[in-house]
Amino acid sequence: MQKLNIGIIGLGYIGKTHIYNCMRLEDAKLVAVADVSKNALNKAKKIGVPNTYNDYQELLNNPQIDAVIIALPTHLHAKCAIAAAEAHKHILLEKPISRNTVEATEILSKVRSNGVKIMIGYPLRFSQPFIDLKKRVDNGELGEIQSAYALNINSGPFVYRAEIGAPIPVPDWWWRKEYTGGGALIDLGSHMINLAQWYFGEVTDAKSYLGYRYKLEQEDHAICLLKFREGQSVIINVGWYSTQTQLRLDVHGTCGLGVACMTTPSKINTVTKMLLRETPPYYIPFLKEVEHFVESIKKDQQPEPSGEDGFKDLQAIEAAYKNSTKL
């Protein structure tokens, strides 16, 4: 296999980020995109994407395409991922893997039966501060780990994008629990739970406290308590209520404290980098994520985080929802 031919399904914010990054890859070529928005497809054409489709099934029918990146709303993950597997396309699927473990099981079954690979999109796994902290944990620098505190708070769906200089409309699906699978816990908490299981192994017990500041159908902030098989305990604190991103992981061991954090990206720096056609620091993990996916497929290796990782994250989230108390 020479260059990996990629198609992107879903051209919302994350889908556009993947377009930007895929067009910078040396070992892959972006050959097609799909979205229901004519405006989004026209913009993709203008920047040089050869094929555009308003029906993702047409993209999946394109024999040129080796792999797809699925950046659709959560309620569409299962249907699209299953169709991609049946079309024998390798898959990078945005987190969470699906709304629930029933859908996730169906996705993984189709992936296995069709002999394709699936990776779940968790860019924090490719963020250098979190990679460096894991190395410190793994090499014993912090001693035996007793507990950790994970913080992921931002504006959630009420988002303000620096590159356009204004708030953006919130899609209707965000406000329907049947479409999202939950609120801030499944949205932001999935990132932190994935990190915690990467660091510490399997979650054996979970409970949560759910808050409804904005009186939505789903929670807009949550505290989640996790217990791990090796004895560690982790507190996950997530919320959609801050105009500034707060993203941090504190790991407490018998030999000290380890910290990894990401700060709110500078609006000026972000815009300047994009105008210069460079990758702003905030988006580098997304680029590394896609690079890893491409390299793994070309080498016939399983990309990480795997579909099974995404399933285990969802298992922990479901347990936390089942064992929840309203704040």
Confidence of residue 262 (pLDDT cuts 50, 70, 90): confident
Banded model confidence at residue 317, pLDDT cuts 50, 70, 90: very high
pLDDT-based confidence at 171, cuts 50/70/90?
confident
Give percent of the chain with pLDDT exceeding 70. 92
User: How would residue 167 be classed by pLDDT, with cut points 50, 70 and 90?
Assistant: low
Q: In this predicted structure, what is the pLDDT of residue 161?
A: 53
Q: With a cut of 60, say whether residue 56 has pLDDT above it.
A: yes
> Which residues are registered as beta bridge partners of 325?
209
- Residue 272 pLDDT > 60, yes or no? no
pLDDT given at position 266: 57
Listed residue (110, 1, 121, 122) closest to 60, CA to CA: 110
Is the pLDDT confidence value at 275 over 90? no
CA trace torsion 72, 78, 79, 81 (10° rounding): 80
pLDDT at residue 78 in the model: 98
**What residues pair up with 160 in beta bridges, in sequence order?**
167
Q: Measuring CA to CA, how many Å separate 19 from each of 10, 45, 193, 200, 267?
A: 10, 11, 27, 33, 20
The pLDDT assigned to 51 comes to: 98
| One-letter amino acid of 303 | P
Predicted confidence at residue 44, as pLDDT, reads 97
The pLDDT confidence band at residue 292, using thresholds 50, 70 and 90, is very high
> What would the pLDDT profile of 2-47 be if each residue is shown by its tens digit?
899 999 999 999 999 999 999 999 999 999 999 999 999 999 999 9
Mean pLDDT of the chain: 93
* pLDDT above 90: residue 112: yes
* pLDDT at 155 exceeding the cut of 80: yes
* pLDDT tens-place string over residues 205-244: 999 999 999 999 999 999 999 999 999 999 999 999 998 8
If you average pLDDT over residues 196-207, what whole number do you get? 98
Would you state the pLDDT for residue 173? 92
* 101 pLDDT above the threshold of 70: yes
- In the prediction, which pLDDT does 289 show? 98
Q: What domains sit in the chain, N to C, each tagged with a CATH number?
A: 4-122 (3.40.50.720), 124-326 (3.30.360.10)
C-alpha 249/C-alpha 152 separation (Å) is 9
pLDDT for the residue 243:
86
Lateral strand order in the sheet of 67-70: 51-53, 28-34, 4-9, 67-70, 90-94, 118-121
Q: Is the dihedral of CA 11, 17, 23, 26 positive or negative?
A: negative
